[in-house]
Structures are given as structure tokens and as C-alpha cells.
Structure 1
Amino acid sequence: MVVDVIIIVAVLIGMFFGLRRAVGTATGRRDCCSGDAKPSGKKFRATRIEDTDEAHYPYATDLTVAGMSCQNCARNVENALDSIEGTWARVDLDTRTAHVLSKQPVDLDAYREVVSESGYRVIS
């Protein structure tokens, strides 16, 4: 009987921590991969890029982004950069690089700011 109680308590504790992580990840307060708390984790909505003709984007830059560990992380960075008017970003998780196309001159400070707001860091 004592063994049964110990097993039930252990299962309940495991369920509590699992649920806590799932809720934290779903709300953006926790990292999607490690479950660690994120100091800043604003989730940007996916922006549908209407103009996908690269010729219409005369300015471009590549940013190296730290902190991405999965495709969800890459999507969050992409959505953050796409939230800037006149930009179109594509993120390559393997190289940790965001290729940003822009209709206006490149604004590195704005790019760094939105990437930081999404919980990641531009390192170059």
C-alpha cells in the first residue's frame, strides 16, 4: 500500500512539472526546446508576405542569430523580422542565419530590437 502511494505521488509530481512546462511553452514564457524560462519571449504573429519578388527588395543583409535550437525558434525569429514593414526574412536554422530583404535601407537596430523582443540575440 505504501508503495502504491509513493508511485501515485511520483506520477502526480511528474504531471505537474510536465503541465507547467507545456503551459509555459504555449504562452511563450519558456523556451520551446529546453523549457528554460525566457526573460523576453514575445510571440509575433505570422505575417503573410504579399510581395515575394526578390527584385522588389533592393536592400539585404544577413544576421547571425543566437539562441535558436529548433524550427519553432527559427519561425519566431522570422515572424519577428517580418513584422517590420517592408521586410521579408528567411531563417536558416542550420547556419543560424536570417537573410533579411528590405524595401527600405537596412535598419540593423530595428532588426536587433525585434529579434531581442522575441527572445533571441543578433550576434553579427
Structure 2
Amino acid sequence: MAQAGADAAGTRRGRGLGLAHRRAGGGLRPAAVAVMRARRLSYGFTQRADTGMAEIKFTDAEKASIVAKLQGYFNDELNQQIGRFDAEFLIDFISEEIGGYYYNRGLYDAQTLVAAKLEAVGDELLQLERRTDFSR
């Protein structure tokens, strides 16, 4: 007898429900999509046409805080003074040239987290199945 959540061959059931749901005409409601887009814009995310990666724009207060931290680091650790303009230029360079590595790592971490959560939900849904004469 197969275990709950697995078929006779021992493979997991329940994966791909999201794709099947979308193929059947389901998906996110337009209101949910609008809310997600509004949140992305409120956090300063815009889509870059060249890479598809979200471009991050900092508020003036956030940028001032980052500049102060960078200036403090240069002063304390490197015994160098760096002006505001140079610090902002360095922040822009790091964001454009190195930020993609951090962005991708965040995506991978988020993907792992979401996959684990979806697997847990799938397992919980399978536990709700009732025994019937019909087998899948």
C-alpha cells in the first residue's frame, strides 16, 4: 500500500497544482495583482527592461543613512575621508555591478522558502483526503 502523499511508485503527488490551476483558467485575481504591484512601487522597486531584475531606488532618507554608514566605514576601517558625492557614486556602482549577486541570492532563498511552504501545504491537503474506492 502506498503511503499517504505518494503514489504506488513512491513519487510525490500534489506537485504542480499551481500550474494546473493556471492552465484551468485560475490564477491571481486582478485585485491581488494590483495590490502586489502597488507594494512593489511603494518599496521603490521598478522593473529594468534590460535584465528583468527589479531596480531598487532608495528614498533620500535611506540613501543618507547608507552614505553615513559608508563614510563611517571608510573613516574607521580605512582611515580615509570620503565625501557625500563619492559615497553616493560608490553606492550606485555597488548597486549596479554587485547588487545582482545579492538580489539573486535573495531570490534563491525566497524560492527555497516558498517551495518548502508549498510542500507543507500540499502534505496538509493530502492529509485531508478521505478514503474512497476511487484511486488516483
Greater helix percent: which structure? Answer: 2
TM-score, normalised via structure 2 length: 0.25
The structure whose RCO (Cα within 8 Å, separation 6+) is larger is 1
